[in-house]
């Protein structure tokens, strides 16, 4: 079995041939006008419509902007309502406990059980 031996000289010849084919291909491509290399996508021409068409388009856009502004105002109002801190019975009970009110008053005023009122007073009431 014979092994194939490639010398540097033969390798250089193969590389030179590949390079020659590549250069010939590039020259042919350049001679034919560049083909793919020179083709650039041309922007689409602007469509010129009548003044009435432009006015309709502007009115359409203005109505869409007005609708979006209305939606923004509505969402901002809803967000303001959501971000308003609500006073829950427990918040009110904590405030009353800090003022020194007794368990029965807190329980009846806030509508919470006596056990809950006792817990709130023990945690938030005045400590002696």
User: For the whole prediction, is pTM greater than 0.75?
Assistant: no
pLDDT digits (tens, 9 = 90+) for 35-75: 555 556 666 666 677 888 889 999 999 999 999 999 998 88
* Confidence at residue 47, expressed as pLDDT on a 0 to 100 scale: 66
Q: Where are the domains of the chain?
A: 86-128
Burial 3-38 (b: 16+ CB within 10 A, else e): eeeeeeeeeeeeeeeeeeeeeeeeeeeeeeeeeeee
| d(C-alpha 105, C-alpha 121), whole Å | 11
- Residue with token string 């801190």: 85
């Amino acid at each position: 079995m014979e092994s194939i031996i490639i010398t540097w000289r033969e390798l250089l010849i193969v590389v030179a041939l590949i390079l020659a084919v590549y250069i010939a291909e590039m020259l042919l491509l350049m001679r034919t006008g560049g083909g793919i290399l020179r083709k650039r996508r041309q922007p689409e021409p602007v469509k010129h419509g009548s003044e009435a068409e432009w006015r309709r388009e502007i009115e359409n856009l203005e109505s869409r902007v007005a609708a979006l502004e209305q939606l923004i105002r509505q969402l901002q109002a809803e967000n303001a309502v959501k971000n308003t801190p609500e006073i829950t019975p427990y918040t009110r009970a904590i405030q009353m406990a800090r003022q020194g009110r007794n368990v029965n008053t807190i329980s009846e005023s806030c509508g919470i059980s006596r056990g809950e009122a006792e817990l709130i007073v023990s945690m938030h009431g005045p400590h002696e």
